[in-house]
A = this chain, B = another copy of it.
Amino acid sequence: MTAVNETAQVNADIPVRDEVREAVHEAARRARVASRVLALLTTAQKDAALHAAADAVLAATETVLAANGADIDAARATGTEESLLDRLRLTAARVEGIASGLRQVAGLPDPVGEVLRGSTLPNGLEIRQLRVPLGVVGMVYEARPNVTVDAFGLALKSGNAALLRGSSSAANSNAALVEVLRGALEAQGLPADAVQLLPSADRSSVTHLIQARGLVDVVIPRGGAGLINAVVRDATVPTIETGVGNCHVYVHSAADLAKAEKIVLNSKTRRPSVCNTAETILVDAAIADTAVPALTQALQAHSVVIHGDLPDMVPATEADWSEEYLSLDVAMKVVANIDEAIDHIDRYGTGHTEAIVTDDLAAAREFTARVDAAAVMVNASTAFTDGEQFGFGAEIGISTQKLHARGPMGLPELTSTKWTVWGDGHTRPV
């Protein structure tokens, strides 16, 4: 609470920000009230609400596309580049995809109420640890309007109220979608405040959200490194760091070169802009004479620019080893052995996904044991670190922190736990 008051003092001479703070806090208080209702809903009630929301989104396609058109026009007018416009753009097919995402979440198992541990103690007390909702979950995210609906669906299924702080560039799209979702909840007799959109015109709403300790239970930022670092640095509310990935593929001396080429290419070129893409290729010195030319040729044939110390590469600087290119660029380095590979990963990696290509069992075991990351791959592409690929059905993000959740986060990661203890007049001896 002190942090919140300090913020208030700092901003005392900026009335507009105080209004934003009040708006965020008021939304959080309403979310808390709604969360008390959500926590007690049956799975059947939540699934019915998700299907109703899907129907409502589909029925509102024209309104949503009109609102999205206004966002696209505004973005184009300020010279936004085409790749960003594409992330922002909705089409009838994309709206259908958003609705079917909600139906997919309705089909997932409900994490709430799952008994994680339990026993009858020697004194007869029956103790059980149950999954319960977190309560009020804040999300801060960038352009894609589909995240608005995805986050609502995952939060609702896990019994949480969602406070959504989307990008100002998607403000009209997000407002239209949230209005539809709130209407669908009300029609089901559920609290509309289960989902609320926070003001996005002013950046201070992010600050107020992440400093609303006691009002908000967790904030999950989804976006680039700048957003995530700012949230983690300034937050007093607990946060889950997501999605910053400086991922490596280590081609070990005992690698099958054909597999290595496939894995390196897939890890780098499948979708270069996502966090599980490989950014540095480490090649063992023992096979560098054959592997480096083969990998270089394969990557260059797919228009990848290679940064490194060898001929035909863009000269690499120290900064290249830390760079999350998120583009058709990759760094390449020859390492003496598995120790140097792991040391390099320890030093420059972000703990997201690290891969080894090898046919040597001992090397595979050593790499998986020693590398400290959310996911460690053996003879598989880094692109597999993904909630849907892991069989979670949907994901809210990929955690790169060690507390609470690490790696792809599905519904169980949006819950806390509660112990219940049933007795019959039990007291504890002194």
Q: A residues near B, CB below 8 A? A: 2-3, 36, 39-40, 119, 121, 125, 127, 129, 132, 134-135, 213, 217-218, 229, 232-233, 236, 238, 240, 256, 258-259, 262-263, 265-266, 270-271, 346, 364, 368-370, 372-381, 383-385, 389-391, 401-404, 406-407, 416-428, 430
Contacts and interface: CB of A to CB of B under 8 A. Distances in A.
In this complex, the member of A36, A229, A374, A418 whose beta carbon has the largest number of chain B beta carbons within 10 angstroms is: A418
A369 B40 contact: yes
In this complex, the member of A2, A125, A258 whose beta carbon has the largest number of chain B beta carbons within 10 angstroms is: A125
Nearest to A359: B424
B428 A266 contact: yes
Nearest to A383: B428
The 4 closest A-B pairs by CB, nearest first: A380-B423, A259-B425, A266-B427, A402-B416
A225 to B, nearest CB: 12
B430 A270 contact: yes
A218 B373 contact: no
29 contacts: A132-B372, A134-B402, A134-B403, A135-B402, A217-B403, A240-B403, A259-B425, A265-B427, A266-B427, A270-B430, A372-B418, A374-B418, A375-B418, A375-B420, A376-B421, A377-B420, A378-B420, A379-B422, A379-B424, A379-B426, A380-B422, A381-B427, A383-B427, A384-B428, A385-B419, A385-B421, A390-B419, A403-B404, A406-B416
A121 B430 contact: no
A365 B261 CA distance: 59
Given A425-B263, A428-B389, A218 B384 contact: no
A63 B137 CA distance: 52
Given A369-B40, A402-B416, A121 B391 contact: yes
Contact of A406 (B125, B378, B418, B423): B418
A119 B236 CA distance: 37
B425 A375 contact: no
Given A240-B403, A377-B420, A380-B427, 14 more contacts: A39-B370, A119-B391, A135-B402, A217-B403, A238-B403, A266-B427, A375-B418, A377-B421, A377-B423, A378-B420, A380-B421, A381-B428, A402-B416, A403-B403
Contacts of A135: 372, 402
Contacts of A404: 403-404
B233 A236 contact: yes
A367 B262 CA distance: 57
A125 B407 contact: no
Contacts of A391: 119, 121
B121 A389 contact: yes
Contact of A262 (B383, B421, B427): B427
Contacts of A119: 391
A403 B265 CA distance: 37
Contacts of A378: 420-423
A238 B421 contact: no
A149 to B, nearest CB: 24
Nearest to A378: B422
Contact of A417 (B134, B259, B407, B424): B407
A379 B425 contact: yes
Contacts of A425: 256, 258-259, 262-263, 379-380
